Structure 1
Amino acid sequence: MRHDEKTEKFRQLVENKFQIYNSLFMSLPYDKMSNIGMLLPFLYEESRVGYEKGKNPEEIMEEFFAKHTELQTDDQKTELLFKIIQYIERQVVLFDSIEDAAFAELHSENDSGTVMQLQERATQEHLLEETREKMKNFAIKVVFTAHPTQFYPNSVQRILHDLRSAIMEDSVTEIDMLLQQLGKTPFVNKEKPTPLDEAMSIIFYLRYVYYDTIGELYKKIKNAFATDSFVPSQEMIQLGFWPGGDRDGNPFVTAEITQKVAAELHFSILKSYYEHLKNVRRRLSFRGVSEILEKLSHHLYDAIFKEDQSIHSDEILKYLNEAKKIIVEKNNGLFLHLLEDFEDRVKIFGTHFATLDIRQDSRVHQGIIDDILTKKSGLEIEKISEEEKLNWLLNTNLVLDPNDFEGITKDTLENINNIKNIQRRNGERGMSRYIISNSDHIKEVLNVFALFKLCGYQEEEINIDIVPLFETMEGLDAGENVMKELYNFPIYRRHVERRGNEQTIMLGFSDGTKDGGYLKANWEIYETKEQLTKVSEDYDIKVIFFDGRGGPPARGGGKTHDFYASQGKTIANNKIEITIQGQTITSVFGNKDQAKYNFEQLLTAGIENDVFKNSKKDLSQKERELIEELANISFKKYSDLKAHPMFVPYLQEMSTLEYYGKTNIGSRPSKRGAGNKIKFEDLRAIPFVGSWSQLKQNVPGFFGFGFALHDLKNEGRFDEVLALYKGSDFFKTLVLNSMMSMNKSYFPLTYYMKNNPKFGEFWSVLFEEYELSKAMMLELTGFKMLMEEEPLSRKSVKIREKIVLPLLSIQQYALMKIQKKEGKMEAYEKLVTRSLFGNINASRNSA
C-alpha cells in the first residue's frame, strides 16, 4: 500500500470511526456529566488559540470557566475538571481500541520486515539456504517487565480487549454497552498493585494473546522455510518475565512472591494446553488416539488442580508422539497438523510459559556479602580488601542457613535456595538467569556465583546464567575490562563452559540516556557492544546482548526493526533480546495482529542483518570518528544542562515528577534513596523521562543533538554530516527516532515559564535547543515537517495530542495553583496526579 492509500484508509478506519463512536459518549450515564461532551471542544479551542497567543494555562482555564460555564466557587470548578479528566481518559481508551482494531487492515502480510517479505527477498536473491542457516542458531526474546508506565488497571485492560473486538465487528450495541461499562469502571487503583498483581496483569496477555500469536507465527515461519532436512527451532521466539523476579529497588519482591509468580506461570501454561487440547480432541476421535489424548487431558487437569500431581513437557510430548504414531499408521495422517501444532506449542512454552528472571542491584548484594562475612567469616571486614573478601567467599565450604540471618540477607538466600524447586517444576528454561544491575567490576558477578555456593550448590549444579547489567556511563566504559577479567577467572570460565560457552550481557539504555543524553548513550552502547563482541570472540564465547530499551527514544527505544537492522557485523547478532514495559505492552504487543507483526519485525531484523549485505550497516573509520565527535559535543551540552543549578529544582517544582509516586501504578518506589531532597542520581529513568513528556518537552530524546549538528555546520562541515545520514543506517535511525521525540513535544504549553523569575532562563535554554534541533534535523533530512515519511504515526500523534490538550491545560493550571499556594492544595494535587494517567496513556511510548 502506498503512503497516500494508507493515509486514506487511516482516515476511514480510525478518524471517521472515532468521530462516530465518540458521539456515543454524549449519551453515557455519567454522574452530573451530561454536558461534558459539549464543553470539551470549547476547552480545546480556548487552549489551542490561547497557547499560540502566549497565554498561560491559568488564564486559559479562567477564560473557559467565565465564557462557557456559570461556576463560581473553586470547589465547583475542580469538580468539573475531575469530570472532564474522566471523560478524556475514556476517549483515549476508545481511540486506542479503534486504532488497534484497524491494525490488520493498515498493515499487510508483505510489508517490509514481515516473514513473507523475508522469504520473498531471500528467494529473489538466491539466499534461502543462508536464511535457513541463520535460523538454526538465531532467536528473539521479548522480556515483559513490571516497570510502571501502564496506567490502566486490569479491569480497564479487559474492557479494552473486548472493545477492540466489538469495533472490529462494528457492533454498535456492544460498543455502546462497553462504553457504558467504561463510564462506570474506575481508572485508578485505590492502592498500589503488588508485584503479584503486576504479574497477573501480564499473564493475562500471555494466555489470551501470546499463546496463540507465537504459535501461529511459528507455524507461518515453518510453512515458509521448512524443508525435509530443516525445521526451524521452536525456541526461535521466546518470552521473558520480570514481575515477581525483579527486586532491583523493589522491597516488595520477596522469595515468596517469586515462588508464587513462578507457580502462576506454570499453571497458566498448563491451563492453556488443557483448553487447546479440548479443541484438538474434537477432531482426533479415532480409536487409540482419543484414549491417549483423554489420558493426557486428565494428567493436565490433575497437575493443575491436585497438589501432589505434576507434569513435565517431556511427558506431554510422549503422549503426543504415541498419538501421532497411530494417526500416521492407521488413519492416513488425518488431522496430523492439529497435533503437530499442539506439539510445537509445548516445545515453545515448555511448562514455564515465560522465563522468570531474577534481578538485583550489585550494591544490595555487597551489603548481603558484608553481612555474611561479619557473622560467619571471623574476618574483620573493615580491615580486609575486596580481593580477600572474594577469596574467602569462593573458597569456603560453609553452607549457610537462611534462618541465621534477617531481612534482605535471609530473603536473598531463601530465593537462591528456591531456584532449584522452580527449575524442577517449570523446567530449567523457567528460571535460567540472574541479572545484576549497576555492574562495573568483576566482584559483582563473582559475588552472585559465591552466593550460590554458600547456599550449598555444587559448581555443576549452578544452572543459571549470571548476567552483568552495564547501564551508567561508567558501567559501559568498564564493560570490556570486566568481561576480560571474568573470562580469565578460572572458576567463572568453567561456569561459562558449563553454560555452553554462552554469555548474556545486559545493557541499560534508559539509565544511559538519562546519564549521558540521547546521542552519547546510543553511541556509547554501540561501541560497548563492539568491544564486548570482540573480547568474547577472542575467548571463543558466544555473546548475547540483552537490551533494556524503553518504549520511546528518550529511553533508548523507538523503531525496533530499524534499530536492529542497522547494526553492522562488528556487533554480535546471535539473538535479539529486549525489554517491553508498561503501555508498550498494550500499544505494541496488545493484540494478536500487532503482536505477530512486531515479533516478525524483530525476528527479520536480526536475520536480514546477517543474510543480506548492505554497506550502510557497517561504519567506515571516517563515519565512526564523525559520530564520536557529534556524540562528545552533544554530551558536553547535555552535561552542562544537568549541571545547571535549576535542573533538578525545575523538574521538582514545575513538572509532575513529585506526583509519579502517588499514582499507584507500580509496586516499586518511584525514586531511589530516602528523604525529600532529590539528587539527580536518585531519579529513576521512568519518572524522569515521563515528567519531561508531561511537560511536552521530551528533553532526553533530543537535547544536545541539534547543538552538535549546528556546531559542525558552523565549521563548514555540514556536508560531512549529510553524507553520514545518507551512508549510515545506524545514524539515520538515531535521527528519525529523535525526530519522533520532538514531534511529541509542544512548547507553547509552557511558554508562560519564560517569564518565571526563577526558571525563565532555564526554560529558554530548553526551548532554544528544541528549536535548534528541529531546524537542524529538518535541514539534514530534507523534510518539511517532523516524521514526514511516517504519515500514519504522525496522524495518530496529532489526534492523540488533540484529545489530551485540554488535559494538559488542566494539569498545568493545577501546578500553577500549587506553586502560588492558592485554594485547596489537596484538590489541585489530586488533579495533577489524575491528569498524569490520560496524558501517558494517550502518548503511548512517551514514558
Structure 2
Amino acid sequence: MNLSKKQAVFENEVLTRFELFNSLFMTLPFYQVKHTGTLLPFFTSHCERGVAAKLDPEAIIESFFGQYEQYVREADRIDLLFRIIQYIERQVVLFDAVEDAAFKKTGRSDEAGLLDSVFTQTENNKELRHKLVSKLRDFSLRLVLTAHPTQFYPGPVLAIITDLTEALKKNDINNIHLLLQQLGKTPFMMKSKPTPVDEAISLAWFLEKVFYPVASAIQSKIDDEFDLPADENRQLVELGFWPGGDRDGNPNVTVESTKRVALLLRTILFRCYYRDFRILKRRITFKGVEKYMDILQDRFYENSFNPSETPENEKAVITHNLKEIKRVLRDYHDGLFVELVDDLLRKVKTFGCFFATLDIRQDSSVIRQTHAYIREKYADKTGIVGDFEQLDETAKQRAFTFKSCDLPYEEDAHPLVADTLSVIRLIKDIQRSGGERAAQRFIISNCQQASDILELMELFLWSGWQTESLCIDFVPLFETVDDLTRAANVMEALYTHPHYKAHLAQRGNKQTIMLGFSDSTKDGGYLMANWSIYKAKVELTAMARQYDVDLVFFDGRGGPPARGGGKTQRFYASMGKEIANDHIQLTIQGQTISSQYGSWDTAYYNIEQLLHAGLTSHIGQKDGDTLSAEKKKLIDDMAHISHEQFLSLRHNPLFLKYLEKFSPLKFLSQINISSRPVKRNSDKELRLEDLRAISFVTAWSQLKQNIPGFFGVGSALQWAEKQGKWEQVKELYETSGMFKTIVDNCMMSMSKSNFDLTSYIQADETFGDFWVKMRDEYERTKSYVLKLSGSKVLMENYPVERESIAIREKIVLPLLIIQHYAIRQLQTNKLSEKDQEVFSKLVTRTVYGVVNAGRNLA
C-alpha cells in the first residue's frame, strides 16, 4: 500500500468515523456534555490561534472568556475548564477505540514482514528452512509487564474501550450509543493510590483477556507451519510480571503483597483454563474419557474458586489427563475435537500453574545492607571475618564462603532487610506451587560490581537454599552510562569466579543481563544512551562468547523513544553478528501496554513484529547491521558531541528549576495512578539522580519539549557535516538498521513536540535564554534529520502514525493550555487555600488526558 493510499484509508476509516461518533457523543442527553461539546470547538480554535500568536496561557484563557462571556458566567469559568478536561479525556478514549477498530485496515501491518513472510521466504529453500527450525529451538520472546505508573485508564474504562472497539468493528450503532453514554458517566479518576496488588489486578486483565489467547494463537501458528505436536513443542512466547515483585524504590511492595500477587496470577490462570475446559467438556461427551474429565473438572474448579493459600503444582496432573483424553479420542473416536485438547495442552505448557514469571527486583544498596546485617549478626556462622566493607573488590570476591545455613532475621532488622530476607524464602514457596518458572529471577538494579551479585547469591544460601538446588537466575541491571561502560568487566569477574561459574553451569550456562534505557537517557542524553547500550551489548556478547555463556539481554524499555520505546522491533531486527540475539526480552510499560497490547489485533501484530525481528536477524542479517570500525568511530564521535551538549543543559543550574516552575513535575506525586513514589528518597529535596526517569520524561512531554528524546542529535549531525563526514552519515543511515531506528525514533519524539506552546517563556528574565537554547537545538535537529532522511516533514515515511499523532496533539492542545494556565496561577501567590486546591486539581487532571493521548509519552 503506497503512502498516499495509506493516508486516504486512515482518513476514511479513522478521522471521518471519529468525527461522526464524536458528533454522536455531543448529542448525548446530558446537559454538561452537550454544553461543553458545543463550546469546545471554539475553545480549541481559540487555543490554536493563541499558540500561533505566541501568547501566554493567561492571555489565551482570559481572552476566550472575554469573547464568550455571554455563554459562560464568570462564576462558572473554572467549572467549564474541568468539564473541558473531562470531555477531552473521553474524546481520547473514543479516538483510541476508533483507531484500534480500524487497525487491520490502516495499512500498518505491511510496514514490515510478519511471520508469514518468513515462512514464505524459507518454503522453497531447504537450507534456510533448516536454519529457521534450528533457530526456533533456541529462540524465545519474553514480554514483561511492569508496574511503572503511566497506565492512566482505570479498569472500567479499559473495559469500555474494549467493548467500544468491538462495537465499532461491527458498526453496531445502538451499542456504540449505549457505550458512549456509559463513557460519559464513568469516572476516570481513582480516589486513592493503588496498592501493588491493585496494580497487579489491573494488569492481570491484559494477561487474561489478551495475552492468554494471543500467545497460544501464535504458538499454534508456529506448530502448524512446522507440524509440531502441541504437547512437545518448545515455548516461544513467555510472559513476565513485575507488580508485587518490583520493590526497587517502592516501600509499598512487601513480602505479603508478593505472595498475594503470586496467588492471584495462579487463580486467574485457572479461571482461564476452566472457561476453556467447559467448552471442551460440552464437545467431548464420549465413552472412555469420563475419569480424566472428572479429574480435570475438579482440578480446574477448585483452583479457580476455592484456591488454597499453599497450593500444589498441578501441571503434571493436568497434562497427563489431557494427553489421556487425546489418546482416547484418537484411538476410539476418529480424533474428533482433538484440536480443542491440543489448544488447552498448548496453553498449559505455556503458562503452567503460574501464568507469568514473577520477577523480584531490588536495589544493590539494599542487598549490601542486608548482607551486612546477616554478616554482622552471625559472624561465627557465615565464616566471613574481618572488616569486609574495607576490602577492595577483588578481596571481597575472595572473602565469600557460600555456606549453606538457615539464619533468620530478628525484630530489630530494618524493614528493607526483613523484606529482602523474607522474599528470598517466599520464592521457594512460589516455586513449589507454580514450578520453577513461577519466580526464578532476582534482578539487582544499580549493579556496580560483581560482589553485588555474589552477596545476593550468598543471602540465598544463608536463607535455607542449598547450592545444588539453587534454581535462581541472578540478573544484574546496568543502566547509567558509567555502569554500562563497566558492565563487561563485572561479568568477567563473575564468569571466572569459581562459585558463580559452578552456579551458572547448573543453570545451563545461561546468563540474563538487564540493560536499562530510562536512566541512561536521563544520564547521558538520547544519542549517547542508545550508543552506550549498543556498545555494552557488543562488549558483553564478546565476553560471554569467550567464556561459552549463552547470553540473554533483557531490555528495560519504556513507552517513548526517550526511554527506549518507539519502533522497538526494528532494533532487534538490526542486531549484527557482534550482539547475542537468540532471545528477546523486554519490559512493556505504562500506557504502552494498553496502546500496543490492549486488544487481540494490536497484541498479535506487535508480538509478531518482535518475533519476525528476532527470526530474520538470524536467517537474513544485512551487511550494514554489523558495524565496521570506521562506522563505530563515527557514531562514537557523534555520541560524545551529543553528550557534551546534553550535559551542558543538564548541568545548567536552571535545569531542574525550569522543570519545577513550568512543568507539572511536582504535581505528579498527587496523581493516584501508582503505588510507587515519584522519586527515590521522597522525604528529601529534589535531586536529578533521585528523580525517576518516568517522572523526568513525563514532565518534558507535558511541556511538549521532549528534551530526552532528541537533544544533542542536531549538534552531533552538524558536527559531522562540518568535519566533512556527511556522506558517511548518510550511508550509515541507509545501511545500519540500528542507526536508522535511532534517528526515526528521534523524529517521533520531535513530532510530539511543540515549542510554540511555551514560546512566551523566551521573554522571561530568568529562563528566556535557557528556553531559546532548547528551541534552537530542536530546530537544528529537525533540520538535520529531515536532510538526512530526505524528508520534507517529520515521519514522512510513516504517514498513518504521523497523522495519528497530529490529531491527538490537536485534541489535547486545550488541556495543555489549561495546565500551563493553572500552573502559572498557582505561582502568583495570590490564591486562597481553597483556590490553590482547585488549580492543583486542574493541573493533575490534565496530565491524564495528555499522557493517554500520546500513547507513549511517559
Look up the match of 1:209.
Answer: 210
Q: 1:717, CA displacement in angstroms?
A: 2.4
Q: Quote the Cα distance in structure 1 between the aligned partners of 2:677 and 2:445.
A: 16
Task: Provide, for residues 576-622 of structure 1, a one-character-per-residue CA deviation record: whole Å limited to 9, x for no partner.
Answer: 00000111000001101110111111111011001013112111111
Equivalent residues in 2 for 1:475-490, closer than 5 Å: 475-490=483-498
Q: Quote the Cα distance in structure 2 between the aligned partners of 1:671 and 1:708.
A: 31
1:595 aligns with 2:603: yes
Q: 1:397 to 1:584 in 2, by over 3 A?
A: closer
Across the aligned residues of Structure 1 and Structure 2, the Cα RMSD in angstroms comes to 1.9
Look up the match of 2:79.
Answer: 79
Look up the match of 1:399.
Answer: 406
Secondary structure of the 1:504 match is: strand
1:765 aligns with 2:811: no
Secondary structure of the 1:285 match is: coil
Look up the match of 1:40.
Answer: 40
Q: Quote the Cα distance in structure 2 between the aligned partners of 1:281 and 1:626.
A: 63
Look up the match of 1:673.
Answer: 681
Q: 1:20 to 1:110 in 2, by over 3 A?
A: closer
Does the CA-based 8 Å contact 1:115-1:604 persist in structure 2? Answer: yes
Q: 1:38, CA displacement in angstroms?
A: 1.2
Does the CA-based 8 Å contact 1:507-1:546 persist in structure 2? Answer: yes
Does the CA-based 8 Å contact 1:116-1:224 persist in structure 2? Answer: no
**Relative to structure 2, which stretch is displaced further, 194-203 or 115-124?**
115-124
Look up the match of 2:581.
Answer: 573
Look up the match of 1:374.
Answer: 376
1:708 aligns with 2:734: no
1:93 aligns with 2:93: yes
Does the CA-based 8 Å contact 1:390-1:447 persist in structure 2? Answer: no
Residue identity opposite 1:121 in structure 2: Q
Aligned partner of 2:444 among 417, 433, 436 = 436
Secondary structure of the 1:681 match is: coil
Look up the match of 2:391.
Answer: 385
Does the CA-based 8 Å contact 1:814-1:829 persist in structure 2? Answer: yes
Equivalent residues in 2 for 1:766-805, closer than 5 Å: 766-805=774-813
Q: 1:815, CA displacement in angstroms?
A: 1.4
Aligned partner of 1:517 among 517, 521, 525 = 525
Look up the match of 1:156.
Answer: 157
Q: Quote the Cα distance in structure 2 between the aligned partners of 1:826 and 1:676.
A: 23
Q: Quote the Cα distance in structure 2 between the aligned partners of 1:461 and 1:616.
A: 44
Q: Quote the Cα distance in structure 2 between the aligned partners of 1:44 and 1:617.
A: 46
Q: Quote the Cα distance in structure 2 between the aligned partners of 1:646 and 1:747.
A: 18
Look up the match of 1:664.
Answer: 672
Q: 1:110, CA displacement in angstroms?
A: 6.5
Q: 1:15, CA displacement in angstroms?
A: 0.8
Aligned partner of 1:334 among 333, 336, 347 = 336
Q: 1:727, CA displacement in angstroms?
A: 2.1
**Relative to structure 2, which stretch is displaced further, 246-255 or 822-831?**
822-831
Q: 1:559, CA displacement in angstroms?
A: 0.3
Q: Quote the Cα distance in structure 2 between the aligned partners of 1:247 and 1:432.
A: 16
Q: Quote the Cα distance in structure 1 between the aligned partners of 2:845 and 2:300.
A: 45
Equivalent residues in 2 for 1:306-705, closer than 5 Å: 307=308, 310-377=312-379, 381=387, 384-385=390-391, 394-396=401-403, 398-406=405-413, 407-675=415-683, 677-705=685-713
Q: 1:53 to 1:518 in 2, by over 3 A?
A: same
Aligned partner of 1:844 among 827, 844, 855 = 855
Q: Quote the Cα distance in structure 1 between the aligned partners of 2:682 and 2:6.
A: 51
Equivalent residues in 2 for 1:84-163, closer than 5 Å: 84-107=84-107, 112-123=112-123, 127-163=128-164
Q: 1:33, CA displacement in angstroms?
A: 4.3
**Relative to structure 2, which stretch is displaced further, 657-666 or 764-773?**
657-666
Q: 1:330, CA displacement in angstroms?
A: 0.9
Task: Provide, for residues 72-96 of structure 1, a one-character-per-residue CA deviation record: whole Å limited to 9, x for no partner.
Answer: 8765221110111000001101111
Secondary structure of the 2:165 match is: helix
Task: Provide, for residues 751-796 of structure 1, a one-character-per-residue CA deviation record: whole Å limited to 9, x for no partner.
Answer: 0000111111110010000000000111111100000000110111
Gapped regions of structure 1 (runs ≥ 5): none
Does the CA-based 8 Å contact 1:467-1:505 persist in structure 2? Answer: yes
Q: 1:712, CA displacement in angstroms?
A: 1.7
Residue identity opposite 2:91 in structure 1: Q
Secondary structure of the 1:105 match is: coil
Q: Quote the Cα distance in structure 1 between the aligned partners of 2:191 and 2:74.
A: 25
Q: Quote the Cα distance in structure 2 between the aligned partners of 1:504 and 1:232.
A: 25
Does the CA-based 8 Å contact 1:191-1:664 persist in structure 2? Answer: yes
Does the CA-based 8 Å contact 1:47-1:806 persist in structure 2? Answer: yes
Q: Quote the Cα distance in structure 2 between the aligned partners of 1:205 and 1:602.
A: 18
Residue identity opposite 1:11 in structure 2: E
Does the CA-based 8 Å contact 2:576-2:621 persist in structure 1? Answer: no
Q: 1:222 to 1:374 in 2, by over 3 A?
A: same
**Relative to structure 2, which stretch is displaced further, 393-402 or 405-414?**
393-402
Q: Quote the Cα distance in structure 1 between the aligned partners of 2:474 and 2:303.
A: 31
Task: Provide, for residues 401-438 of structure 1, a one-character-per-residue CA deviation record: whole Å limited to 9, x for no partner.
Answer: 13454312112111111111100111111111000000
Q: Quote the Cα distance in structure 2 between the aligned partners of 1:612 and 1:299.
A: 46
Q: Quote the Cα distance in structure 2 between the aligned partners of 1:732 and 1:690.
A: 25
Q: 1:380 to 1:75 in 2, by over 3 A?
A: farther
Q: Quote the Cα distance in structure 1 between the aligned partners of 2:582 and 2:189.
A: 42
Residue identity opposite 2:401 in structure 1: L
Q: Quote the Cα distance in structure 2 between the aligned partners of 1:306 and 1:45.
A: 56
Q: Quote the Cα distance in structure 2 between the aligned partners of 1:112 and 1:27.
A: 41
Q: Quote the Cα distance in structure 2 between the aligned partners of 1:306 and 1:601.
A: 37
Q: Quote the Cα distance in structure 1 between the aligned partners of 2:528 and 2:662.
A: 27
Q: Quote the Cα distance in structure 2 between the aligned partners of 1:766 and 1:812.
A: 18
Task: Provide, for residues 276-309 of structure 1, a one-character-per-residue CA deviation record: whole Å limited to 9, x for no partner.
Answer: 0111122222111244223311222123315376
Q: Quote the Cα distance in structure 2 between the aligned partners of 1:382 and 1:817.
A: 55
Q: 1:17, CA displacement in angstroms?
A: 1.1
Equivalent residues in 2 for 1:177-188, closer than 5 Å: 177-188=178-189
Residue identity opposite 1:574 in structure 2: D
Q: 1:377, CA displacement in angstroms?
A: 2.1
Q: Quote the Cα distance in structure 2 between the aligned partners of 1:300 and 1:463.
A: 28
Secondary structure of the 1:786 match is: coil
Residue identity opposite 2:408 in structure 1: D
Q: Quote the Cα distance in structure 2 between the aligned partners of 1:718 and 1:808.
A: 38
Does the CA-based 8 Å contact 2:516-2:557 persist in structure 1? Answer: yes
Look up the match of 1:218.
Answer: 219
Secondary structure of the 2:401 match is: helix
1:282 aligns with 2:282: yes
Q: 1:656 to 1:746 in 2, by over 3 A?
A: same
Task: Provide, for residues 663-698 of structure 1, a one-character-per-residue CA deviation record: whole Å limited to 9, x for no partner.
Answer: 111110000113453111011000100111000000
Residues paired across the two proteins, number = 846
Q: Quote the Cα distance in structure 2 between the aligned partners of 1:300 and 1:568.
A: 46
Look up the match of 2:725.
Answer: 717
Does the CA-based 8 Å contact 1:135-1:232 persist in structure 2? Answer: no
Look up the match of 2:193.
Answer: 192
Gapped regions of structure 2 (runs ≥ 5): none
Secondary structure of the 2:679 match is: coil
**Relative to structure 2, which stretch is displaced further, 187-196 or 151-160?**
151-160
